Amino acid sequence: MTFKIRKAVIPVAGLGTRFLPFTKTSPKEMLPIINRPTIDYIVDEAVKSGIKEIIFITSSTKTSIIDYFDRNLDLERQLRKKGKDVQADELQKLSGMIKIIAVRQTDAKGLGHAVLQAKSIVGNEPFALLLGDDVIYNPKKPALGQLIELAEKEQASVLGVGEVPMENVSSYGVVDPAEDIDDRTFLLKGVVEKPTQAAAPSNLSIMGRYILTPKIFEFLEERNVDEATNEIQITDSILKLINTQKVYAYKFNGIRYDMGSKEGFIKANIEYAMRDPELKETVLKTVNFYNK
């Protein structure tokens, strides 16, 4: 089997309760960083990492995500009529960026259940999994691309991790390294979903980026439901994968924004604005005003 990562699964069926009432009518993935929705940054990272096909796991209230990556011929026509060809070309380019497939998840039974919906489309090849809450900034080398490089070299699954303060480990899947390969690469002997601080094997936490071999589907098919959450956790199946095949964690290079939290959303918007020469001025003026 050639070990090449071509497909990415992006689950987008979550309710987004932390962003109610916004999420009453709009998917949380459509929350913007400046003028682009969060999901655009995630898809862009996948495309720049060499992904050729995106599989969205969606629900009935998420059609705007699919529409966003489709063409809007009427809008393009109107823009061209007004002489705004540059904008029209940009919109056209956006929709031609990548092949998109949408699969409906009819029950919200957790991340593992969402990924299982992609089984027949992914087939018997390794794939990437990106979570829509995590935006990772690295303009030189996208985080997913870093994981793909290691996965293709080792022909193995790789989890993207970052260090978090011990008091925050209970918000993440936390890995248990068996061996440090180098200062960024770890061979794993375990993983725990949202452990207490006392039970956490390390502070290396999963940051919404995974490369998984198709073997994961065999474990997901067992449909073991976590008692505490009543959900099928991906982490349980990853633990089984670790007991069967080599699985690595890679501490990727990049700045991660948790777009699932209000703090992360604000931080992302301010920092992306600071990287834009025109908007930087506005941020600095506002900060100066409030610092007076």
Using alpha carbons, list the distances in angstroms from residue 288 to 5, 266, 278.
47, 17, 17
- In the region spanning residues 202 to 231, those forming contacts with ligand G1P, defined by CB under 6 A, are 205-208
Tokens for 254? 């990049």
172 in contact with ligand G1P (CB under 6 A): yes
CB of 172 to ligand G1P, least distance (A): 4
Half-sphere exposure of 76 (CA within 13 A, CB side): 12
173 in contact with ligand G1P (CB under 6 A): yes
193 in contact with ligand G1P (CB under 6 A): yes
Distant-in-sequence, close-in-space partners of 172: CB < 8 Å, separation ≥ 6: 164, 194, 205, 206, 207
257: β partners? 135
CB of 17 to ligand G1P, least distance (A): 11
Residue closer to ligand G1P, measured from CB, 68 or 257:
257
Q: What is the DSSP string of 75-88?
A: HHHHHHHTT-HHHH
Query: Do 111 and 11 form a contact (C-beta atoms < 8 A)?
Result: yes
Q: How far apart are CA 224 and CA 236, in angstroms?
A: 8
CB of 173 to ligand G1P, least distance (A): 2
Residue closer to ligand G1P, measured from CB, 172 or 252:
172
Q: Which of 38, 59, 213, 235 binds ligand G1P (CB under 6 A)?
A: 235
Residue closer to ligand G1P, measured from CB, 49 or 205:
205
CB of 140 to ligand G1P, least distance (A): 22
- The DSSP secondary-structure symbol of 25 reads T
- Tell me, by CB under 6 A, how many residues bind ligand G1P: 11
User: What is the greatest pairwise CA distance in the chain?
Assistant: 63
Scored b (16 or more CB within 10 A) or e, 67-78 reads ebbeebeeebee
Residue closer to ligand G1P, measured from CB, 16 or 173:
173
Q: Which of 134, 176, 231, 236 binds ligand G1P (CB under 6 A)?
A: 134
Residue closer to ligand G1P, measured from CB, 57 or 94:
57
Residue closer to ligand G1P, measured from CB, 205 or 269:
205
Q: How far apart are CA 268 and CA 264, in angstroms?
A: 6
Q: Which of 114, 118, 131, 148 binds ligand G1P (CB under 6 A)?
A: 131
- In the region spanning residues 42 to 101, those forming contacts with ligand G1P, defined by CB under 6 A, are none
CB of 205 to ligand G1P, least distance (A): 5
Q: How far apart are CA 123 and CA 137, in angstroms?
A: 30
Residue closer to ligand G1P, measured from CB, 40 or 193:
193
Site of interaction with ligand G1P (CB under 6 A): 111, 131, 134, 172-173, 193, 205-208, 235
